[in-house]
Amino acid sequence: QVQLVESGGGLVQAGGSLRLSCAASGRTFSTLTMGWFRQAPGKEREFVAVLNWSDGSTVYADSAKGRFTLSRDNAKNTVYLQMNSLKPEDTAVYYCTATGRGWGPRVQSYDYWGQGTQVTVSS
C-alpha cells in the first residue's frame, strides 16, 4: 500500500503563487506515476499534472501548461506542484494521486489518493 499526504494549500490572491507538496510512503513500484487532480464544487475531479518517478517526465493538462510545474525530491519521496499566476478558476480541492501503471487522464486510472488540500484564489 502507498500512503500520500498533501500539504501547502491555502488562500491566495489572483496572480499569486502557491506550492503544494505530496509525500509518499509505503510500498514502492517498479514504475510509479504520481501527480495531481483537482475538484471544484459542483464539478467532477479533473486531471492537472502527473510525473513519472523513474525518469522525471511530466504531462500537464492544458489548463496547467505554462503556469504549473511538477518537480520531485528523491531523498524525501515528495512531489511538488508549483502554481504561478493563479486564477480564481483554479480554486478547488487538490488531490495527490499515484499508480503503479502508466499515466492516464481519468480518475479510474489511479490507485492511491491523498486526503486533499484546499486551494482558494480570490479576485
Give the tens place of pLDDT for each residue, 84-118.
999 999 999 999 999 988 889 999 999 999 999 99
pLDDT at 116: 97
Residue 30 pLDDT > 70: no
Return the number of other C-beta atoms located less than 10 Å from residue 40's C-beta: 14
Query: How wide is the angle at C-alpha 68 spanned by C-alphas 101 and 86, nearest 5°?
Result: 135
Which tops the pLDDT comparison, 90 or 55?
Answer: 90
- Cell 484564489, residue located: 121
pLDDT at 41: 93
The runs of H, that is alpha helices, within the chain are none
pLDDT at 43: 97
pLDDT at 5: 95
